[in-house]
Structure 1
Amino acid sequence: MTDDHDTRAAPVLQHRTKAEAVYEHLREQIVNGTYAPGRRITLAELSAEIGLSNMPIREAMLRLEREGLLVSEPHKGMRVVPLSLRDAREIFEIRCELEGLAAWRACRAGDAGLADDLEALNARFAAAHAAADFTGLGAANWAFHRRILQAAASAQLARALEDVWTGSQRYRLGYQLIPGRAAHTIAEHAAIIAAIRAGDPEAARAAARAHIQRAGEELAVTVANTPET
């Protein structure tokens, strides 16, 4: 009985593993801009590209549709959801205030290793920029901001900011579409680090707000100038 159950379960587990892997792959291609906003993608196209059967790919696409990253088009497959200028502006306005507060709290907390950790993460970001590694850029950037949030030591702020970060993942492709955004980020991160090293909470807040505000402004220009397909 046990052996029969294990034999039947194995293909199911294998399918779930494949579907999860496809989901992670497709989601990354969307959020880092490789699959551009408005791009149409079909099951057959993805099956040929990834080298898997339709079933795990269909499951992954439906999951991405539920998350609002893909939209179904009758008889045409699915399309990467176009960027919304209004949503982008709202998200970055909220991030501006919350990340300013996080930097202020983090600076006041007196975390002895914070500035050094942020320096290392900014160096990692710079290395990814030099290598045109857009996935690496996103990972280093989120690690930088999460380290600040960790030092801020506020469960309430963490819940609010994590929700906003989830919404703003869709706009991470700014590094790929906006000329100069990654270089600006390196300099803006450095200003935040300098304020934290100086032990100046208000300067840390101002630097964090300026960073998010500029990122939002540059992204808004790109979104506004992106034609719908």
Structure 2
Amino acid sequence: MIEHLKTGPILHRRKADLVYEFLREQIINGTYAPGQRMTLAELSQELGLSNMPVREALLKLEREGLVESEPHKGMRVVGLSAQTARDLFEIRCELEGLAAWRAARSADTALADDLTEINAEFAEAYERQDFTAMGVANWALHRRILQATGSDQLSRMLEDVWTGSARYRLGYQLIPGRASLTIAEHAELIEALRRRDPEAAREAARAHIRRAGEDLATILAENGL
């Protein structure tokens, strides 16, 4: 990624986008830790780029709440907190409940089959203790449901919330039994979608997100966050 940025004939706009994507993933996977300072000069030197695309990437990350500005010091990665986790998952609870309700109204066998396959991939990744693959499968499942709603507006709203909550996914590794519960909760949601039962799908989605958020907030609070 970094070498490509240094040597590739990329337009300025594309460079800013690539820097943003690279830094965002580094924040989400914990390479840049909560509270870590990210200075423009150091990042530009590390990536072998001018300040401008790096500055644009940092400003976009700031708008998304992943970094925050410190006067005369540059940016730093926003810390994790139990309260922020509660807020994000409360919002997700309502929006994903709506997404499940809408998806169930027009669900077909293909949707349920796709979700069953993705949930199996999540379970297989859990057996391997491959947390990266678990994260990929989990987001794929939730995005597949969102896709089935056909709502661009709901998609934009949920994508924003998912961006804020993505960096909390590493916390799931600290929650005993959470992955097994997730597999079961996904299965319950999928069954409601297969039956085309909007109310059951909404409640299953809301219960899943609510429990996951409560478990995560508890772990963060126990670790003083």
TM-score, scaled relative to structure 1: 0.75
| Aligned residue runs from structure 1 range 186-225, under 5 A | 186-225=183-222
Over the residues paired in the alignment, what is the CA RMSD in angstroms? 3.0
Instruction: Tell me, in whole angstroms, the C-alpha distance in 2 between the residues paired with 1:127 and 1:44.
Output: 42
1:24-75 per-residue CA deviation (whole Å, 9 max, x = no partner) reads 0101222343323222223454346x54234233332233223332112234
- Correspondence for 1:40: 37
Aligned match for 2:161, one of 162, 167, 176:
167
Q: 1:126 to 1:22 in 2, by over 3 A?
A: farther
- Correspondence for 1:121: 118
Asked whether 1:132 is paired with 2:130, we answer yes
1:147-190 per-residue CA deviation (whole Å, 9 max, x = no partner) reads 2223334x3xx524531441242222333123244443223212
- Correspondence for 1:184: 181
- By how many angstroms is 1:226 displaced? 5.1
- Correspondence for 1:98: 95
Aligned match for 1:52, one of 48, 52, 58:
48
Instruction: Tell me, in whole angstroms, the C-alpha distance in 2 between the residues paired with 1:23 and 1:88.
Output: 23
- Correspondence for 1:77: 74
Segment drifting more, 60-69 vs 208-217: 60-69
Larger of the two Rg values belongs to structure: 1
Number of residue pairs the alignment of both structures matches: 213
Instruction: Tell me, in whole angstroms, the C-alpha distance in 2 between the residues paired with 1:146 and 1:63.
Output: 22
Instruction: Tell me, in whole angstroms, the C-alpha distance in 2 between the residues paired with 1:114 and 1:71.
Output: 39
Instruction: Tell me, in whole angstroms, the C-alpha distance in 2 between the residues paired with 1:27 and 1:88.
Output: 18
- Correspondence for 1:3: none
**What are structure 2's unaligned runs of at least 5 residues?**
1-7
Partner SS state of residue 48, structure 2: coil
Q: 1:114 to 1:71 in 2, by over 3 A?
A: same
Q: Give identity over the alignment, percent.
A: 56
